[in-house]
Amino acid sequence: MIATVLTPLAASVVASIPSPSSSSLSLGPLTFTLYGLMIALGVVAAVEISRRRWEAVGGNGDDIADLAKWGVPAGLIGARIYHLVTDWKSYQGRWIDGFKIWEGGLGIPGGLILGVGVGYLYAKRRGWDVPRLVDCVIPSIPVAQAIGRLGNWFNQEVYGRQSTLPWALEIDAEHRSDFPNDTTFHPTFLYEGLFNLALAYALIRLDRKKILKPGQLLPLWIAGYGFGRFLVESLRSDFASEILGIRVNHWASGIAMVVGLAWFFAMERKADDTDGDAIDEADLDEADLDA
């Protein structure tokens, strides 16, 4: 009897992932968009993770809050600019909507470039140990990205191609005007979120093993994120600007992989050359002493 009841129930649970019925949260007179709330929670998580990691290596936890005051706004501006540049056609005739960031539309590559860039310059200007700070902060960024991607789930946007997999995502009719006959799609928000969490874990593990040079987590993260985003982008079916018939985000992901790997190996080679020079100088000093 129990098996007869639970079997169809279990089948319905794994048949698809439902989308939230609302994209906002009301608390008394206040209404919050869940997209914005997820972005905010991601920032809070990144700041807290970075603060703990920075304090663990002897840094002042307040430095992270100061860094966030510059890096986070810059990241949001960069993300919005990237989205508008790569998706400007969808705003024709309604340019004012380009400022409505709460409705969604953040291009992560732009946010990462401007946010990390401004944060790097700020830390350097303050005279902090930038390579060590970078190693403390970088693993927190993919965690923030994973949390922020939940905002796409609440908005029922940027989902993938049609899918009938057990974990396919249900999309309401008003959010799939281009696919009137399909109801379930690849949950690209979930794919990217899980990949980012795995990437954060891998970066932390590598950092703990002490096998990387200071600062090398940054190019590794750039290459890793580019790889993951390239795969997820391949599942997208929504409209996107293209260059030579290839989605702009595919170009951006490919460039990130190449730049990240090239930067990583350049840092490796530079470190080896520095170690070699140090050994040569030590040999010369020893020769002078023998003479």
Residue 236: HSE in the Cβ half-sphere, 13 Å Cα cutoff: 18
Enter the pTM of the model.
0.82
27-38 pLDDT, tens digit per residue, is: 888 888 898 899
Which of 140, 65, 72, 138 is closest to 106 using CA atoms? Answer: 72
Residue-level pLDDT at 76: 86
Which of 101, 96, 102 is closest to 77 using CA atoms? Answer: 101
Tokens 């057990």 correspond to what residue? 166
Which residues are paired to 25 by β-bridges? 32
The proportion of the chain whose per-residue pLDDT surpasses 70, expressed as a percent, equals 82
Angstrom distance (rounded) from CA 149 to CA 23: 13
pLDDT at 11 over 50: no
Determine how many CB atoms are found less than 10 A away from the CB of residue 60: 12
Angstrom distance (rounded) from CA 200 to CA 111: 18
153-180 pLDDT, tens digit per residue, is: 999 988 999 999 999 999 999 888 788 8
Q: Is 237 exposed, middle or buried (0-12, 13-18, 19+ CB in 10 A)?
A: middle
171-226 pLDDT, tens digit per residue, is: 999 888 788 889 999 999 999 999 999 999 999 999 999 999 999 999 999 999 99
Residue-level pLDDT at 159: 92
Residue 138: HSE in the Cβ half-sphere, 13 Å Cα cutoff: 29
What's the pLDDT band for 92 if we cut at 50, 70, 90? low
Q: Residue 33 is encoded by which pair of tokens?
A: 């968009």
Residue-level pLDDT at 265: 94
Angstrom distance (rounded) from CA 82 to CA 230: 17
What's the pLDDT band for 95 if we cut at 50, 70, 90? low
Phi, psi for residue 29 in degrees, rounded to 5: -80, -5
